[in-house]
């Protein structure tokens, strides 16, 4: 009885996600997500510091985030949490007294984690500290130096080419001091203790696609899932890249065993095709689910094997964890020209692309919620479907119809070794039909969850 109640609720949970998705006003959701990205855009984020905290504060106004922090100097596996970096002002003034670049205009101008500086120097001495993109002379690159003390400025190559000889004044009013590494998470408990992890890096400054797009999509997704009945427990992580994932894994090592599915989210706002980067093993349930959803979505997509280079899938997929975590992007890192430059701005990300990404994630969740292994309770020969009103009364027809085929497939393959997704793929029937059919058969006591 309690068991029956549980099953019914689980079935409703899956339907719940489906109806959330069906009821989604995609245009409105796209606009909201773009607006959130726009609000976050000007903030100077880094792997630590006030900008990161402000970002988490803003997300925390949409969804009830739990905040965590680790003090500078803390050992996390092989790494040490660095000092906090905060910037008040940074510029270079030229021989003519004009500011060549100014952090106040665009926070990409300052190499992230530059140490404080105030000195005058020749152009020749300044040059090694200037970073440009000769191939894209009007864009400013994004550069960091988290773990090696240095300083530098990034600027358009065209501007750097025009610099006159003379004395330059460099001013960086920044601090590198003991503080904390911050992150935020939201846990939405489900019927099962098994977890579905979504992880986004939140450490990039004014770069829209990488990764404000995913912060916006993940926040919206989390907000929707708060309202759904859930089979899985959902965990959303908003963390600084690399060091944040490492710190989280160090603090939550014993929890990782509960992670059944996981996605690293990045670059979800550009109009490119979806790109699924598989989990380290490449054959996890999440690989099957995402590839099934993308293949049946009617959208352009591609899949790639795991590589140990990219975003935080590097850490989740390190050999000591080897978690079932893949990565969903649209155009991947390094493959669009605007990547890690000032051209990755709010015009690169589109409300409709954000909405499409959200829809794909909802469908992934829907399939994951609905996919399960059933066991045929009367496995010897077919059960008599007709006397239960489940099968057409008239015999001899050449084609049984999709619903009756789905019943036969679910009954035949519900041997404890095939999930509903396996059955849908093998039978070449729609997953939703197969899932609904399994629920109908379950209601008649002909199958039960394994």
Q: Residues interacting with a copy of itself, by CB under 8 A?
A: 76-80, 112, 131, 141-148, 150, 242, 245-246, 249-250, 253, 280, 307-309, 314-315, 317-322, 333-334, 339-340, 376, 378-384, 386-387, 393-400, 405, 408-409, 411-415, 427
Taking the complex as a whole, how short is the minimal distance between the CB of residue 182 and a copy of itself, in angstroms? 19
CB-wise, 87 or 224, nearer to a copy of itself?
87
Q: Is 362 left (phi over 0), alpha (psi -120 to 50) or beta?
A: alpha
Taking the complex as a whole, how short is the minimal distance between the CB of residue 409 and a copy of itself, in angstroms? 6
- Alpha-carbon span 155 to 110, nearest angstrom: 9
Taking the complex as a whole, how short is the minimal distance between the CB of residue 306 and a copy of itself, in angstroms? 8
Cβ atoms of residues 185 and 236 within 8 Å: yes
CB-wise, 64 or 445, nearer to a copy of itself?
445
CB-wise, 34 or 327, nearer to a copy of itself?
327
Taking the complex as a whole, how short is the minimal distance between the CB of residue 303 and a copy of itself, in angstroms? 16
- Taken in order 254, 258, 261, 265, the sign of the CA dihedral is negative
Phi, psi angles (nearest 5°) of residue 375:
-125, 130
CB-wise, 147 or 193, nearer to a copy of itself?
147
Taking the complex as a whole, how short is the minimal distance between the CB of residue 90 and a copy of itself, in angstroms? 17
Taking the complex as a whole, how short is the minimal distance between the CB of residue 78 and a copy of itself, in angstroms? 4
- Alpha-carbon span 75 to 78, nearest angstrom: 7
Cβ atoms of residues 379 and 425 within 8 Å: no
- Alpha-carbon span 94 to 428, nearest angstrom: 68
Cβ atoms of residues 168 and 100 within 8 Å: yes
Q: Is 322 left (phi over 0), alpha (psi -120 to 50) or beta?
A: left
CB-wise, 122 or 378, nearer to a copy of itself?
378
CB-wise, 209 or 414, nearer to a copy of itself?
414
- Alpha-carbon span 10 to 369, nearest angstrom: 8
């Amino acid at each position: 009885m309690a068991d029956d109640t549980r099953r019914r609720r689980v079935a409703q949970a899956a339907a719940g996600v489906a109806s959330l998705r069906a009821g989604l006003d995609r245009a409105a959701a796209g606009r909201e997500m773009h607006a959130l990205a726009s609000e976050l855009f000007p903030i100077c984020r880094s792997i630590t510091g006030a900008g990161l905290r402000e970002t988490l504060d803003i997300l925390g106004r949409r969804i009830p985030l739990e905040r965590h922090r680790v003090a500078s100097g803390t050992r996390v596996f092989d790494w040490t949490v660095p000092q906090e970096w905060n910037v008040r002002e940074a510029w270079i003034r030229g021989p003519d007294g004009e500011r060549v670049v100014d952090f106040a205009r665009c926070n990409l101008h300052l190499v992230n984690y530059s140490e404080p500086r105030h000195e005058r120097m020749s152009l020749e001495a300044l040059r090694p500290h200037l970073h440009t993109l000769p191939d894209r002379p009007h864009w400013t690159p994004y550069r960091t130096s988290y773990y090696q003390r240095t300083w530098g400025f990034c600027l358009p190559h065209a501007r750097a080419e025009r610099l006159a000889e003379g004395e330059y004044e460099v001013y960086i009013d920044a601090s590198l001091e003991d503080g904390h590494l911050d992150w935020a998470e939201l846990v939405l408990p489900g019927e099962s203790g098994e977890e579905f992890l979504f992880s986004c890096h939140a450490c990039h400054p004014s770069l829209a696609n990488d990764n404000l797009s995913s912060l916006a999509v993940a926040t919206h997704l989390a907000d929707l899932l708060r309202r759904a009945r859930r089979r899985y427990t959902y965990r959303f992580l908003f963390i600084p890249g690399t060091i944040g994932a490492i710190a989280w894994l160090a603090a939550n090592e014993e929890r990782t065993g509960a992670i059944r599915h996981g996605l690293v989210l990045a670059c979800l706002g550009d109009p490119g095709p979806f790109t699924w980067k598989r989990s380290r093993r490449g054959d996890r349930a999440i690989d099957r689910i995402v590839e099934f959803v993308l293949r049946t979505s009617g959208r352009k997509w591609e899949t790639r094997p795991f590589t140990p280079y990219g975003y935080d899938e590097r850490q989740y997929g390190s050999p000591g964890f080897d978690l079932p975590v893949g990565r969903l992007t649209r155009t991947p890192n390094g493959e669009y020209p605007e990547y890690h430059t000032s051209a990755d701005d709010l015009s690169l990300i589109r409300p409709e692309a954000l909405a499409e990404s959200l829809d794909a994630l909802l469908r992934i969740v829907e399939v994951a919620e609905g996919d399960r292994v059933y066991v045929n309770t009367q496995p010897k020969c077919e059960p008599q479907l007709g006397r239960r009103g489940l099968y057409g009364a008239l015999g001899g027809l050449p084609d049984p119809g999709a619903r009756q085929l789905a019943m036969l497939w679910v009954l035949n393959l519900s041997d404890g070794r095939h999930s509903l997704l396996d059955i849908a793929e093998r039978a070449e029937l729609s997953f939703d039909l197969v899932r609904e059919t399994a629920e109908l058969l379950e209601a008649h006591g002909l199958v039960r969850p394994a």
